[in-house]
Amino acid sequence: MPLPFAGPLAALLLAPTCLNTSQLGQPGPSIVFHGVNPGFLDRRVSPTADFYRFSNGSWLDKARIPNDEANISATAQARQRNEEMIWKIVAPTVYDNSAVAGSPEQIVGEFIRTGLDQNLADRLRAEPIQPELRRIEAIQTRGDLVSELARLHRLSIGVGFCANVSFDFLNSSHKILSLSQAGLSLRRRSPYLDQDDKARSLRTRLSAIIEKSLLLVGDSPPSVSRSARRVLAIETRLAEASVPESETGSVEQNFHRLSLSQLQGLAPNIDWPRYLKELGTPDSIAVNVEQPIFLKAFSELVGHVPIRDWRIYLRWRLTSAASPFLSSQLAEQSFQLQSALMGQEFERSRSEVVLEEADACLGNELGQLLCRTGFGLHAKGKVVTMVQSIRAAIRDKIEHLDWMGPVTRRKALEKLDKMQVSVCYPERWRDSTELVINDRSFLENVFRAREFEFQRQLNKIGKPIDRSDWDVRSYAVDARYSPSLNAIILPAGILQPPYFDIEADDASNYGSFGTVIGHEIMHAFDGRGRKFDSEGNLKNWWSKLDGLQYDMRQRDFVAQYDGYHVRDNLHINGKLTLEENVADLGGVTAAFAAFRRSSNVANLPSSDGFTPDQRFFISFGQLFRNKIRPESERMTLESDPHAPPEFRVNGVLQNCPEFYKAFHVAPPKTQLRIW
């Protein structure tokens, strides 16, 4: 439901709602736990029978998914806390009329103020989108279509395909324009192609949403049913051409550097010089085509689908992308689509939508405001120490591998030693003084901010890499490894419970945040990361025998996770989740080894009946507590490279002899291990 009040003041006052600890399955605010929470445990379950349930059973029984969310989890708890913190920082900027134009305070304040003004959005209705709709209606030729594709891509709207700037895998000191498959309202290919009841129901709901949305932007009632059919027909053909999600993770399969003439030969029905000019980049540059088979098929569609149908498709995709930022009626249609995909029962508040888009568009400015508060800096020293100890544990792992030869080992250690780690905030902030945010409409500000950021990314092409320019929000509950930079980023936003707690003991911190650090480092040596050398270039630095040994061990991991049954007819895709599963296991074992070496474990006390080693693993298990709606679970199983939380815990510990030793149980005879 929309916010039941009017005006930005009321919205801002109600936006930072207090964390509902009972809803999260936690004790009330009078009880504070640092580290392992014994209230989450289900002690009736044997730890070695189902450790996920043992660690989280009580929480799983009590937690309730909020009606406007697809899931509830430990990560959601941290993100909600961050959202409240950001609102407190943002609130003063909304009413600061003295802020200098182009300053973070002015940009954020004006953006949030127009976003929260529901009355303005409802008065304008679909007016802010009309100039873009008129551009689409004016399309008469394939050349016009190509120009409009570029225009919408600059606004970060995926139509047919999408464009972004990424690393040149063969030259990590530069960036390149990448083109990839996109344009599906249902986000993945299976709902268009499957013939079961769920897929047919999704397609029916999508048709109804298209019809209602197009009516709201001014289409005539007799035309919208026909328009919905044409949109669905185009998207079905795009789905047929799309590479399955499980096949899009391979580095080699997603990197095809083409010259302009090669690109024109691959997709001849697209005027690429015109597209690149309208996109805002020189037409002499090389381009990475991530899925050539898709782009070739899209070119064929451009040649065969009538222009009138393309106008309808683009009209819908633009309307769908803009709806969350327009009137209550259009925002309701956006929610209906989200509900069909993810299962939420109630629409998110306007304030949540606004803050989410501010995050997407203004991460640099929000990060500066957070940095001025000093958030996370108190934890930086401890985190750096943890990184050093975990890196040392991984070095020890590599040095003692029984399957790796000396040449490959030397290069692996070189890559580990050259890996850079950044914690809390970037060394410097980007200049956004030329970004103009005004009070005319929220949608205008969203599109202007998106286009500004897109052009900023385009300007990086062909220039030396700036390592201080993060791709991760400094306030994000996130951690990231970049194979092209051979670098890890641990932003300030994740330096809080349940990941890191300065008041918790080492067992808890290494079991939670230590495993995250280890996980990110291990990404340098997973099925994707291992293909990049110490400088971040795509290069095979493995001996032939060592590469074969690694591939053989990977196949065992794929088979293990392929065998996990989630529910009904749903299974984990072992190939899709391979890299994350390998990083999970390597991260846990490295963090445990670092914990044992960095702490005087023998002198650490037991707590709640658990030894320090046991608390390490319980902390790891509790980090992944999660409840999810069936609709969202189905979608994530098809597209998320992470296994479901239950199997990220139990699947990893099945291969961890240190876990069985901690709980005084003999391990299985067969356990998998790469690192």
Query: For the domain that residue 581 is a member of, what is the CATH number?
Result: 3.40.390.10
- Give the Cα separation of 471 and 448 in Å (integer): 20
Do 155 and 65 share a domain, yes or no? no
Given a cut of 60, whether residue 8 has pLDDT beyond it is no
Q: What are phi and psi of 532, to 5 degrees?
A: -105, 140
- Give the Cα separation of 76 and 402 in Å (integer): 40
The average pLDDT across 216-245 equals: 96
- Give the Cα separation of 323 and 489 in Å (integer): 33
Predicted confidence (pLDDT) per residue in 608-628, tens digit: 889 999 999 999 999 999 999
Which pLDDT band, with edges at 50, 70 and 90, does 246 fall under? confident
Q: Judging by beta carbons within 10 Å of its beta carbon (0-12, 13-18, 19+), is residue 527 exposed, middle or buried?
A: buried
The average pLDDT across 537-555 equals: 95
Q: Strand 487-491's sheet: what is its strand order?
A: 420-424, 487-491, 480-482
Whether 18 is covered by a domain: the verdict is yes
Residue type, 365: E
Whether 458 is covered by a domain: the verdict is no
Predicted confidence (pLDDT) per residue in 524-545, tens digit: 998 899 999 999 999 999 999 9
Predicted confidence (pLDDT) per residue in 360-398, tens digit: 999 999 999 999 999 999 999 999 999 999 999 999 999
Residue type, 394: I
Whether 36 is covered by a domain: the verdict is yes
Do 165 and 287 share a domain, yes or no? yes
Single residue among 259, 291, 306 that ends a domain in this structure: 306
Q: What are phi and psi of 559, to 5 degrees?
A: -65, -40
- Give the Cα separation of 136 and 150 in Å (integer): 12
Question: Looking at the 3D structure of the chain, how many domains does it have?
Answer: 3
Do 517 and 653 share a domain, yes or no? yes
Do 94 and 185 share a domain, yes or no? no
What is the average pLDDT score of the chain? 91
3-state secondary structure of 509: helix
Given a cut of 80, whether residue 18 has pLDDT beyond it is no
Do 90 and 226 share a domain, yes or no? no
For residue 259, what are its two tokens? 């010259």
Q: Where in the sequence is the domain holding 498, given as residue range(s)?
A: 375-426+470-662
Given a cut of 90, whether residue 568 has pLDDT beyond it is no
Whether 135 is covered by a domain: the verdict is no
The average pLDDT across 253-270 equals: 95
- Give the Cα separation of 318 and 202 in Å (integer): 20
Comparing CA positions, the residue from 594, 588, 596, 642 lying closest to residue 620 is: 588
Do 93 and 145 share a domain, yes or no? no
Alpha helix (H) ranges present in 323-405?
Answer: 328-342, 350-361, 363-371, 377-399
- Give the Cα separation of 38 and 53 in Å (integer): 13
- Give the Cα separation of 77 and 74 in Å (integer): 5
Whether 367 is covered by a domain: the verdict is no
Which pLDDT band, with edges at 50, 70 and 90, does 25 fall under? very low
Whether 513 is covered by a domain: the verdict is yes
Which pLDDT band, with edges at 50, 70 and 90, does 146 fall under? very high
- Pick the range with the lowest mean pLDDT from 99-103, 129-133, 309-313: 99-103
Measuring CA to CA, how many Å separate 582 from each of 553, 575, 576, 579?
10, 11, 12, 5
Predicted confidence (pLDDT) per residue in 392-417, tens digit: 999 999 999 999 999 999 999 999 99
Given a cut of 50, whether residue 3 has pLDDT beyond it is no
Given a cut of 80, whether residue 4 has pLDDT beyond it is no
3-state secondary structure of 423: strand
The average pLDDT across 126-147 equals: 97
- Give the Cα separation of 411 and 187 in Å (integer): 40
Do 302 and 398 share a domain, yes or no? no
Contacts of 81 by beta carbon, 8 Å cutoff, 6+ apart: 19, 496
pLDDT of 537 reads 96
By residue count, the chain amounts to 675
Single residue among 98, 130, 156 that ends a domain in this structure: 98
Predicted confidence (pLDDT) per residue in 293-312, tens digit: 999 999 999 999 999 999 99
Q: What are phi and psi of 431, to 5 degrees?
A: -90, 120
Single residue among 98, 132, 152 that ends a domain in this structure: 98
Whether 193 is covered by a domain: the verdict is yes
Do 293 and 380 share a domain, yes or no? no
Do 541 and 397 share a domain, yes or no? yes
Beta bridge partners of 465: none
Do 91 and 185 share a domain, yes or no? no
Query: For the domain that residue 258 is a member of, what is the CATH number?
Result: 1.10.1380.10
344 HSE (CA, 13 A, CB side): 19
Do 421 and 552 share a domain, yes or no? yes
3-state secondary structure of 430: coil
The average pLDDT across 91-116 equals: 93
pLDDT of 1 reads 28
Q: Return the H-helix or E-strand segment holding 555.
A: helix 544-562
Measuring CA to CA, how many Å separate 576 from each of 250, 290, 307, 422, 445?
10, 17, 37, 28, 37
pLDDT of 21 reads 31
pLDDT of 229 reads 98
For residue 454, what are its two tokens? 């897109």
Contacts of 417 by beta carbon, 8 Å cutoff, 6+ apart: 395, 534
Do 247 and 302 share a domain, yes or no? yes
- Give the Cα separation of 418 and 411 in Å (integer): 11
Whether 122 is covered by a domain: the verdict is no
The average pLDDT across 31-51 equals: 89
- Pick the range with the lowest mean pLDDT from 337-351, 354-368, 391-405, 422-436: 337-351
pLDDT of 288 reads 96
How many other CB atoms sit within 10 Å of the CB of residue 54? 23
pLDDT of 605 reads 76
- pLDDT > 70: what percent of the chain? 94
pLDDT of 602 reads 65
Regarding predicted confidence, which is higher, 119 or 252?
119
Predicted confidence (pLDDT) per residue in 177-211, tens digit: 999 999 999 999 999 999 999 999 999 999 999 99
Q: What are phi and psi of 502, to 5 degrees?
A: -60, -20
The top-scoring range by mean pLDDT among 14-18, 124-128, 245-249, 606-610 is: 124-128
